[in-house]
Amino acid sequence: MIDQCFKKFTQLSEIVGQCSPTMLTYNGTWENHYGLNICPIPDSVWKNEPLLVKINSKFPILVGFVIKTTPNILYIWHLDGSRAASINLRFESSGHSHSLFGESDDGFNDKFVELEYEPNTFYLFNTQHKHCVINFNESRYVFSLQFVQTKDEVSYQEIYNWCNGEGLFE
């Protein structure tokens, strides 16, 4: 189930993970989008990130942004509205949180797997597999992005297969 939910990239972040979310969003505007606090960041950030430059050559990136989750929030099970997949990195300044992918088991119970973010590490994230976030008592900051192609035009599996063929995964 795990590979259908998320996959860790081998190449560590050289730019995004070295910046603080405060720095990245300094000139940005926070907006509420489906209950998420989102702030776009300058294209120059991901255009200087080697892994994202490579992926952008095949799957063009529309925008990179920071998602802020406030303390003591559970963002409920959902599929994203238009994104097939994203590439995520959790900033180190975040506190204790869980990012879970679920599958219905017997109508009462859901099975889940956890994406345990490692420092400075990007993950391909299947936003069309049921997922949720449980955030504890500090703000949580995640880098994420939107590809130009929507879920009707590209799938997680297509992006996964290409990245896998390019040797980008562990």
Q: Which residues would be at the binding site for Fe ion (CB under 5 A)?
A: 80
120: left (phi over 0), alpha (psi -120 to 50) or beta: left
- The strand order across the sheet containing 36-40 reads 6-8, 123-126, 85-90, 140-147, 61-69, 36-40, 31-33
Question: Shortest distance, CB of residue 142 to Fe ion, whole angstroms?
Answer: 10
Query: Toward Fe ion, which CB reaches closer, 49 or 80?
Result: 80
Question: Shortest distance, CB of residue 156 to Fe ion, whole angstroms?
Answer: 12
Question: Shortest distance, CB of residue 75 to Fe ion, whole angstroms?
Answer: 7
**Residue closest to Fe ion, measured at CB:** 80
| Beta-carbon contacts of residue 70 (< 8 Å; ≥ 6 apart) | 37, 135, 139
Question: Shortest distance, CB of residue 14 to Fe ion, whole angstroms?
Answer: 26
Query: Toward Fe ion, which CB reaches closer, 54 or 98?
Result: 98
